[in-house]
């Protein structure tokens, strides 16, 4: 976009975002130059006013929408000019349209409608008769007499002529932007969604609680709308949005029929009422459903994104040899040992649970592995047999003083990973069940590195993920993963292909080349070596290099988030007492932005800093939790087992699940637990707010 168009775009973005015009112009230029969101957020703060990656992602969405709107405005102006006169009034309306919906309302009267009743009437030459009817200045007899003049060609009777004129007027009315906006607003504010069962309805099925219910469109929660529409898609439910039609008809009589109308006004009213019921209301109902679906999709995807954010930012468990345990009953618990660096060491299968309950042999195998590899942490999957497997390790700790602290890990997606091409490449000689145990260990040791190998939709953290816009969902989850991976940084000498692929400026192909270079030449020693990787040009290097870490580099800055473009500035700061640096003065002296200087100082003060370290560590257990061990104000970890309208039930290791009331789930008001929680979601830190020992009930809070 150039000239006037770019100015229009900047002005539109200034209205739709909280960013200043100068920052908007800078961001647009950076994006046009091929800069990525993580790079802009981290290394171009002075150009954006310090906008975070979340703000920039929102800006990107609004930018794409605004760009689409401007392009459509040009197209609509051209199409109207081709089919009619593009008056100054219409031009002004198009220029002032702030959404595609408003713009499409403006364009609607000029669209070709080849198969409509009105189009047929127009072809039959009935437009002049429609104009006469709209003025309503003739008596009924006079109008019928006039209609006789149009009985020719395909029009074989006066009634056909009148009916055709009414069809044209009905469509004119239904196409009026002002009428459409009024009815749309009415339906969104006052419409009621009525739910009925179909002949395919299952009386004991998933949707039994929805039948016969009605709910105001303005208040229906997004998750409930998606649930209802799933029932519609499965042909068990039907829905209808109703509004006060009598009032709308009365408005037509008062405001659309000329006060001095003659007796033909009844024909005029019939035309308007037909336009309302046959054309306008069904059309607006479809639009309202589309808007409700879009809102619901955005809300559900937002929840999914927040859950993914929390899951990927779970702190890694470092400096521990981990035993990954994939629990089961009949087929036994699969065990896999991974060392401190995540390397797979050994595996076996034990049978401590039903039906074998072989405690002695299971104990021997676990203790043998523990002594051999100095295991200090156990990750137990939360699937079938998890509780019984926890009991086995608790007994082992008690009887043998094994000191095998354990924690429960969500195993959602472990089977997906174990059967994937990635797993087959990483562990070609291992059974899929052992790969699953390795994944469980890895998602405790370094959740981000392990989980980026799995499709987020398989992680059990979303709601209605198969009902929402899949492209929108995919983009949101990819964006979040990329932003978080870059925020944390990636050790280029140990990172997997999956992890490397998320580095800004690098895709799967270049990531593969990075690994190939590493395998051929040994570990990277400096970041400059990346410039020798096939397919990684100067622009990609600029975008990626700041997010890459090399622990044993010749250059100390290579194990930091300092961009090589700032290495000279960083060198000059090494000899200073960083705690006393006057940022404003030093920034001017070194010709560097203040925000950039602050980031450099932070990196120098905490070399190799991982932002996940600021979050609460994963809690381990050494025994089954007893309600008597808890106190109000203490913290526990747990897994969401069930969700109801009023709250969520969480397995915290007791006989009975603890309960988080909906009012204790978020600092901001939420309408349903599914907005923030999902089944099988692991919650690392939950506060105990009430205890009833007699009933075995524990109240919990996430706030």
pLDDT digits (tens, 9 = 90+) for 29-40: 999 999 999 999
pLDDT tens digits, 117-147 = 999 999 999 999 999 999 988 899 999 999 9
pLDDT tens digits, 221-243 = 888 899 999 999 999 999 999 99
Q: Report, as an integer, the average pLDDT of 369-388.
A: 92
Find out if CATH 1.10.1200.10 is the number for domain 322-459.
Answer: no
Q: Calculate the dihedral angle through the C-alpha atoms of 496, 501, 506, 511, rounding to the nearest 10 degrees.
A: 40
Q: Is the pLDDT of residue 680 over 70?
A: no
User: Quick check: 335 and 369 in contact, CB under 8 A?
Assistant: yes
* Residue 115 pLDDT: 85
Q: Is the pLDDT of residue 609 over 90?
A: no
With CA atoms as reference, report the closest residue to 210 among 187, 229, 188, 190: 229
* Whole-angstrom distance, CA of residue 547 vs CA of residue 42: 9
* Residue 441 pLDDT: 96
Total length of the chain: 703
With CA atoms as reference, report the closest residue to 63 among 2, 12, 99: 12
* Residue 552 pLDDT: 87
Question: Which pairing describes strands 697-701 and 658-661: parallel, antiparallel, or unpaired?
Answer: parallel
Which architecture, in CATH terms, is 627-701? Beta Barrel (2.40)
Q: Is the pLDDT of residue 677 over 60?
A: yes
3-state secondary structure 636-662: EEEEEEEECCCEEEEECCCCCCEEEEH
* Residue 458 pLDDT: 87
In this structure, what DSSP letter does residue 329 have? S
Q: Report, as an integer, the average pLDDT of 196-205.
A: 94
* Whole-angstrom distance, CA of residue 588 vs CA of residue 586: 5
What does CATH list as the number for 117-304?
1.10.3500.10
Q: Is 505 left (phi over 0), alpha (psi -120 to 50) or beta?
A: left
With CA atoms as reference, report the closest residue to 428 among 438, 440, 414: 438
Which architecture, in CATH terms, is 4-110? Orthogonal Bundle (1.10)
* Residue 154 pLDDT: 95
With CA atoms as reference, report the closest residue to 549 among 574, 573, 567, 526: 526
* Residue 260 pLDDT: 77
Write down the domain spans for the chain. Answer: 4-110, 117-304, 322-459, 482-559, 561-606, 627-701
* Residue 464 pLDDT: 76
Distances (CA, A) of 69 to 12, 93, 284: 10, 14, 21
pLDDT tens digits, 440-452 = 999 999 999 999 9
Q: Is the pLDDT of residue 379 over 70?
A: yes
Q: Is the pLDDT of residue 513 over 90?
A: yes
* Residue 5 pLDDT: 74
How many CB atoms sit inside 10 A of residue 508's CB? 12
Find out if CATH 1.10.150.310 is the number for domain 482-559.
Answer: yes
User: Quick check: 385 and 352 in contact, CB under 8 A?
Assistant: no
pLDDT tens digits, 278-311 = 999 999 999 999 999 999 999 889 878 887 888 8
Task: Give the bridge partners for 687, in sequence order.
Answer: 635, 701
pLDDT band at 261 (very low <50, low <70, confident <90, very high): confident
* Residue 4 pLDDT: 64
Task: Give the bridge partners for 683, in sequence order.
Answer: 638
Total-model pTM: 0.85
């Amino acid at each position: 976009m150039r000239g006037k168009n770019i100015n229009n775009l900047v002005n539109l973005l200034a209205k739709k975002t909280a960013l200043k015009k100068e920052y908007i112009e800078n961001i647009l230029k950076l994006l046009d130059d091929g800069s990525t969101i993580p790079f802009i957020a981290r290394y171009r703060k002075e150009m954006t006013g310090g906008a975070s990656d979340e703000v920039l992602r929102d800006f990107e969405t609004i930018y794409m929408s605004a760009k689409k709107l401007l392009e459509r405005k040009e197209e609509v102006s051209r199409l109207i000019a081709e089919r009619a006169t593009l008056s100054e009034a219409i031009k002004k309306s198009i220029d002032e349209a702030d959404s595609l919906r408003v713009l499409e309302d403006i364009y609607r009267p000029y669209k070709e409608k080849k198969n409509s009743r009105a189009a047929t009437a127009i072809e039959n030459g009935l437009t002049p008769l429609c104009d006469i009817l709209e003025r309503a200045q003739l008596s009924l007899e006079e109008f019928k007499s006039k209609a006789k003049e149009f009985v020719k060609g395909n029009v074989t009777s006066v009634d056909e002529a009148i009916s055709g004129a009414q069809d044209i007027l009905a469509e004119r009315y239904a196409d009026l932007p002002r009428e459409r906006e009024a009815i749309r607003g009415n339906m969104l504010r006052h419409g009621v969604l009525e739910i009925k069962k179909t002949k395919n309805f299952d009386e004991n099925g998933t949707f039994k609680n929805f039948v016969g219910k009605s709910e105001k469109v303005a208040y229906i929660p997004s998750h409930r709308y998606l649930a209802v529409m799933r029932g519609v898609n499965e042909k068990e439910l039907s829905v209808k949005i109703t509004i006060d039609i009598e009032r709308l008809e009365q408005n037509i009589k008062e405001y659309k029929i000329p006060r001095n109308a003659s007796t033909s006004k009844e024909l005029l009213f019939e035309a308007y009422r037909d336009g309302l019921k046959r054309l306008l209301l069904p059309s607006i109902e479809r639009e309202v459903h589309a808007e409700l679906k879009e809102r619901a999709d955005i809300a559900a995807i937002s929840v999914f994104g927040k859950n993914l954010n929390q899951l990927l930012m779970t702190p890694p468990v470092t400096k521990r040899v981990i035993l990954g345990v994939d629990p089961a009953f009949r087929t036994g618990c699969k065990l896999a040992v991974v060392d401190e660096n995540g390397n797979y060491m050994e595996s076996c299968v034990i049978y401590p649970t039903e039906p074998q309950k072989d405690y002695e042999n299971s104990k021997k195998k676990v203790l043998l592995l523990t002594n051999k590899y100095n295991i200090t942490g156990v990750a137990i999957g939360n699937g079938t047999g998890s509780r019984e497997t926890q009991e086995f390790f608790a007994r082992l700790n008690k009887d043998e003083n094994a000191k095998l602290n354990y924690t429960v890990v969500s195993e959602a997606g472990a089977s997906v990973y174990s059967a994937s091409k990635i797993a087959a490449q990483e562990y070609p000689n291992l059974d899929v069940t052992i790969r699953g145990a390795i994944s469980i260990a890895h998602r405790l040791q370094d959740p981000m590195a392990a989980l980026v190998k799995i499709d987020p939709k398989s992680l059990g953290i979303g709601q209605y993920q198969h009902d929402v816009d899949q492209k929108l969902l995919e983009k949101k989850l990819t964006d979040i993963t990329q932003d978080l991976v870059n925020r944390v940084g990636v050790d280029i000498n140990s990172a997997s292909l999956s992890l490397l692929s998320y580095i800004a400026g690098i895709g799967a192909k270049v990531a593969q080349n990075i690994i190939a270079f590493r395998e051929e030449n040994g570990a990277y020693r400096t970041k400059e070596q990346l410039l020798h990787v096939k397919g990684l040009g100067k622009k990609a290097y600029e975008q990626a290099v700041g997010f890459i870490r090399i622990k044993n580099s010749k250059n100390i800055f290579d194990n930091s988030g300092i961009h090589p473009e700032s290495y000279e500035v960083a060198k000059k700061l090494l000899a200073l007492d960083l705690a006393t640096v006057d940022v404003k003065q030093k920034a001017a002296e070194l010709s560097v932005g203040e925000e950039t200087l602050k980031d450099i100082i932070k990196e120098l003060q905490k070399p190799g800093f991982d932002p996940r370290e600021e979050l609460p560590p994963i809690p381990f257990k050494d025994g089954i939790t007893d309600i008597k061990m808890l106190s109000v104000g203490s913290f526990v970890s747990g897994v969401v087992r069930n969700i109801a309208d009023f709250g969520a039930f969480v397995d915290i290791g007791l006989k009975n699940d603890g309960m988080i009331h909906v009012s204790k789930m978020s600092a901001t008001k939420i309408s349903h637990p599914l907005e923030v929680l999902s089944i099988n979601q692991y919650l690392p830190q939950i506060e105990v707010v009430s205890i009833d020992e007699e009933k075995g009930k524990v109240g919990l809070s996430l706030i």
